[in-house]
Structure 1
């Protein structure tokens, strides 16, 4: 069974997709941009601020679905510039304790709204 997950504590979709989908005991989030859900605006032009906001948005979606950051099994991080990998990584590790999830990280040509980072996850409930 497929269930749409939506929360006002993370930015709404900017296209024809859902914030997340729950299928069985797994949650698949869409890529989360560093958009402040209260203002609808991108936070700064700094990888530290943007990574933190993207992960806060992921956390809000998972909590809405009855899950949490420690139940993430896989993350995918899209970066506009791999030179930002180290700073992104420093912020990323603040959001996890114990065993880290599996992860892939890629530099891409461009992200929506010219973001510096976008993060999607797969988590269990």
Structure 2
């Protein structure tokens, strides 16, 4: 792949985005994962469905959705240098960190840098996560 070519990355588990953007974009050795939320894998004819009402279920599904884009783009969590977490409730910060630390415990390399921001999300959604990976 030439450094000038951008390629959309769309895992089979994901539906088409609701607007004109890609779930992931690869250009050269960079892979940007768009903000992912805790929707269960797409099922034909079913509206997007959150993994559960709680932060744990949604966070784990959101991380799985980010991972699906990473893998479709040829990356792993070890390649990620930046993660942004968007939470709807400041009271969820401590629980998020517990879930996050458990999920990333197996990492061998230095953990990614992380920023956490508080935002509004569509009804029922508690978290959104994006990531930037450098391959090779």
Same fold (TM over 0.5): yes
Cα RMSD (Å): 1.5
- CA distance, structure 2, for counterparts of residue 112 and residue 101 of structure 1: 27
Other-structure match for 2:76? 68
Other-structure match for 1:15? 19
Higher-Rg member (1/2): 2
What's the CA shift for 1:48?
Answer: 0.7
2:28 corresponds to which of 13, 24, 28:
24
Q: Does 1:55 align with 2:66?
A: no
Could you tell which deviates more after superposition, 93-102 or 80-89? 93-102
- CA distance, structure 2, for counterparts of residue 33 and residue 11 of structure 1: 12
Superposed structure 1 runs of 4+ greater than 4 Å apart:
none
Count of matched residue positions in the alignment of Structure 1 and Structure 2:
124
- Report SS of the residue matched to 2:52: coil
List alignment gaps of at least 5 residues for structure 1.
none
TM-score by length of 1: 0.91
Other-structure match for 1:122? 132
What's the CA shift for 1:11?
Answer: 4.5
- CA distance, structure 2, for counterparts of residue 31 and residue 113 of structure 1: 16
Task: Please give the per-residue CA displacement for 1:57-100, whole angstroms capped at 9, x wherever unaligned.
Answer: 00111111111011110000000001101111122223321321
